[in-house]
Amino acid sequence: MKIIALLFCFVISAASVMTWASESPDTFWLGADISGTTELEAQGVQLYNAAGEPRENTQLMHELGLNAVRLRVWVNPQQGFCSPHDVLVMARRAKALGMAIMIDFHYSDWWADPHKQNIPAAWKNFNYEQMKQALAAHTRETLQLLKDDNIDVKWVQVGNETTHGFLWPMGRAETSMAQYAGLTQAGYEAVKQVYPAAQVIIHLDSACDPKRYDFIFDGLRRYGAHWDVIGVSVYPYWDKDAGLEQDLEGTLRDFTANLVRLSKKYGCETMVVETGTEAAKPQEGKQVMQAIIDAALNKTQGQCHGVFYWAPELEGQYPLGAFSNHRPTAIMQAFTEAAARLAARSAGPRR
């Protein structure tokens, strides 16, 4: 009953939340990467709300209080999921619900992250100039596809978790920083050609570790690349697994301090574009997400503008989702409750 009551509370305030989200320059964005939505549907997976009622994933995220979605783009994915046209299908759903949209270019045919940044098969024989042209064309064409459908895009990631650059080995930061910066700038310029007002995000992992951020952003700045927002991943689970932190408190302390430092050093905004907690521990996970949202909102001197959960609906293949039996667990209540608090704050005191 508690979950149902929370959902009811959000539904009756949804109009005010979305009006505020679209009009206020101080909006704090609560989002999720739901890029796997159409693939789940193709597999015959049905999602439900906490009351057991069938829901399409985007609608479910909206009902849970989220005001934004993040969608990844692969260049030539083997099965077509997360292709530009597949992203268009999902973006239409977000637009219909008034949700802001973040596009995340992986510049690969499959997953790109700090451990792999594989050149798309169609680009594998390109030289540096050709690679810049291909990256820019892919970026422009994908975004133009969305724009031609009257879809607004608020943020665009030029690369996904590019802690070591992308398009390896050509754009590997440790060995070819100048080329990584040049490729990044090509993406930045392509974004602005289609959506001049969109904010370009450069995204790294492990927000608790300032060294990797200085390495990348000092390098990008040195070689003349531009960005608007520094995007970060905040995963206490992975921080502990990697030996970067001993506990949640360490992650919270160090990622917030780093965001404040980065915003001052580089004169830009920041966002948590990926986060997650253990799906198997939903009550503990809710507390973790409450702490991360609170830290991002209240302990970064106003320099962090949102928190996005990564693939909450993913079950069985990944330990950090937020669903069980195709239903949201208590973890997602952290977003629902945060949305209600933010709406109340926006509305101000009643007379």
Could you give the 3-state DSSP secondary structure of residue 61?
Answer: helix
The residue annotated as part of the active site, out of 161, 245, 269, 337, is 161
Could you give the 3-state DSSP secondary structure of residue 239?
Answer: helix
Ranges of H-type helices in the chain = 2-23, 37-42, 57-63, 84-96, 128-148, 173-194, 210-222, 236-241, 248-266, 282-298, 333-347
Dihedral Cα 156, 159, 164, 169, nearest 10 deg? -150
The residue annotated as part of the active site, out of 63, 274, 313, 337, is 274
- Show the CA angle centred on residue 44, arms to residues 48 and 311, nearest 5°: 60
Those residues whose C-beta lies under 8 Å from the C-beta of residue 350, and which sit 6 or more positions away, are none
Residue 157 burial class via C-beta count within 10 angstroms: exposed 0-12, middle 13-18, buried 19 and up: buried
d(Cα 193, Cα 324) in Å, to the nearest integer?
A: 42
Indicate if 245 belongs to the active site. Answer: no
Could you give the 3-state DSSP secondary structure of residue 256?
Answer: helix
Q: What amino acid is encoded at 334 in this protein?
A: A
Cα 317 to the chain's mean position, in Å? 19
Those residues whose C-beta lies under 8 Å from the C-beta of residue 267, and which sit 6 or more positions away, are none
Three-state SS string across 68-121, please?
Answer: EEEEEECCCCCCCCCCHHHHHHHHHHHHHCCCEEEEEECCCCCCCECCECECCH
The DSSP bridge partners found for residue 328 are 323
Indicate if 337 belongs to the active site. Answer: no
Q: Which residues are catalytic?
A: 161, 274
